[in-house]
């Protein structure tokens, strides 16, 4: 059985290249281009994220942030280029990847409970015919404790607030027990408590040696939350340590004309009432 799965992994890997490719990087993206209906959404992306960092991907609306995440996870088909997670194709590394999609991507009126949704994080690890059992339930309970929602385990998901929905998704990703976590705008439209819980947790993951990659929309908090940054606008504008990359020059190149407003807010004042909000991408 073990031999069989090893062979299968090898086959998957050698489809694009042989053996390990850039094994020292948590995420390695090379020459990635994604186009919808002939229009490039991502153009010739080269992106490297070392292991053990908490990285943000920022960029204006339509910069392709979510598409990049989807292409990395194999949810969007690239026109060109390839992706490696810890030196192998994402398909071969599926069990080392944790994913938190945007909250709005599912119907929250689905008849299920909080605990049930969290357990879905183990479905990829269970055998094809195995039903989730006591062990999965126990893990899910612990994950809910971590996001401070254990008291809502039996609650129907339609009764959750936006912040609680987000924490449920985070708990679901936690029990994937991955090495690299991808989160799509986890802080969009959540309450302050939830944001604090999420950021605290992500930093804990990073301190435990995991890699956390977040599509982020709030420029104000980039320097507080993250240590690695990629600025995106169809192409990669800049990437590297936050201290080196988070500059007015780079932001201006990514955000263009809106920089006057951005600069003032990002470099001087506190968050104003008309701070830039991005909801899609």
Partner 1 sequence: MTGLVELLSDYTVQNVAMGAVLLGIASGVLGCFAVLRQQSLLGDTLAHAALPGVCIGFLIAGTRDMGWIMAGALGTSILAALFVLALTRRTRIKTDAGLGSALGLTFAAGVVLLTYIQGQSNASQGGLDTFLFGQAAATLRSDLWLMGGVTIAAVALVLGCWKQFKLVTFDPEFARAVGLPVALLETVLTAMIALAVVIGLQMVGVVLMTSMVIAPAVAARQWVKRLEHMVLLAVGVGIVSGLVGALISASVQNLATGPLVVLAATAIVAVSILLAPGRGVLWEQIRHWRDRRTIGQRQMLTTLYKLAAHHRDPDYPAETGMLDSFHGTRTQRALRQLQRRGLVEPVAHMPGEGRHWVLTEAGRREAERVLKTMTPEMA
Instruction: Give me the residues that bind partner 1 (CB under 8 A), please.
Output: 73-75, 91, 94, 97, 99, 101, 105-107, 110-113, 116-117, 120, 123-124, 126, 128-129, 131-132, 156, 172, 176
Report how far residue 154's alpha carbon sits from residue 40's, in angstroms, rounded to the nearest whole number. 44
Q: How far apart are the first and last CA of the chain?
A: 42
Nearer to partner 1 (CB atom), residue 152 or residue 237: 152
In the complex, least distance from residue 110 CB atom to partner 1, rounded to whole angstroms: 5
C-beta of 78 vs 101, nearer to partner 1:
101
User: Min. distance of Cβ 71 from partner 1 in angstroms?
Assistant: 12
Question: Could you tell me if residue 259 is left (phi over 0), alpha (psi between -120 and 50 degrees) or otherwise beta?
Answer: alpha
How does DSSP assign 67-113, residue by residue?
Answer: HHHHHHHTSS--SEEEEEETTB-TTTTGGGEEEE--GGGS-TTSS-B
Q: Which is nearer to partner 1, 148 or 156 (CB)?
A: 156
Q: Which is nearer to partner 1, 18 or 105 (CB)?
A: 105
Nearer to partner 1, 101 or 163 (CB): 101
Q: For partner 1, which is the closer residue by CB, 146 or 176?
A: 176
| 8 A C-beta contact, residue 79 and residue 105 | no
Residues of 138-168 as b/e, b for ≥16 C-beta within 10 angstroms?
ebbbebbebbbbbebbeeebeebeebbbbbb
Edge-to-edge strand list for the sheet holding 97-100: 97-100, 180-184, 211-215, 54-58, 228-233, 235-241
How far apart are CB 219 and partner 1 at their closest, in Å? 27
Cα separation, 263 vs 249, in Å, equals 10
Closest separation between CB of residue 270 and partner 1, Å?
A: 20
User: Which of 120, 238 has the CB closer to partner 1?
Assistant: 120
Q: Is 192 exposed, middle or buried (0-12, 13-18, 19+ CB in 10 A)?
A: exposed
- Calculate the CA dihedral of residues 118, 120, 122, 126 and round it to 10 degrees: 150
The distance of closest approach from Cβ of residue 182 to partner 1 in the complex, given in angstroms and rounded to an integer, is: 8
Q: How far is the CB of 177 from partner 1 (least distance, A)?
A: 12
Residue 119: CB minimum distance to partner 1, A: 9
Smallest distance, Å, CB 17 to partner 1? 20
Contacts of residue 108, Cβ cutoff 8 Å, sequence gap at least 6: 157, 158, 160, 165
- Residue 126 or 259: which CB sits closer to partner 1? 126
């Amino acid at each position: 059985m073990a031999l069989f799965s090893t062979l299968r992994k090898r086959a998957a890997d050698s489809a694009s290249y042989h053996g390990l490719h850039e094994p020292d990087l948590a995420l390695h993206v090379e020459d990635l281009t994604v186009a919808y209906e002939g229009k490039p959404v991502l153009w010739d992306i080269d992106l490297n994220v070392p292991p053990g960092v908490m990285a943000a991907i920022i960029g204006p609306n339509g910069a392709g942030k979510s598409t990049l995440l989807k292409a990395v996870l194999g949810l969007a088909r690239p026109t060109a280029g390839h992706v490696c997670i810890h030196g192998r194709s994402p398909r071969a590394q599926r069990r080392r990847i944790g994913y938190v999609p945007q909250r709005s991507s599912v119907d929250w009126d689905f008849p299920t409970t909080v605990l049930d949704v969290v357990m879905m994080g183990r479905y990829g690890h269970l055998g094809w015919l195995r039903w989730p059992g006591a062990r999965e339930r126990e893990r899910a309970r612990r994950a809910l404790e971590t996001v401070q929602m254990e008291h809502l385990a039996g609650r129907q998901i339609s009764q959750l607030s936006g912040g609680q929905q987000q924490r449920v998704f985070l708990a679901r990703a936690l029990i994937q027990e991955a090495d690299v976590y991808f989160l799509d705008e986890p802080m969009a439209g959540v309450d302050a408590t939830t944001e604090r819980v999420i950021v605290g947790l992500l930093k804990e993951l990073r301190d435990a040696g995991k890699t956390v990659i977040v599509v982020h929309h709030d420029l104000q908090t980039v320097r507080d939350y993250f240590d690695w940054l990629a600025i995106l606008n169809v192409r990669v504008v800049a990437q590297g340590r936050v201290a080196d990359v988070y500059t007015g020059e780079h932001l201006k190149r990514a955000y263009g004309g809106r920089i006057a407003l951005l600069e003032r807010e990002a470099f001087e004042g506190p968050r104003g009432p008309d701070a830039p909000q991005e909801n899609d991408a």
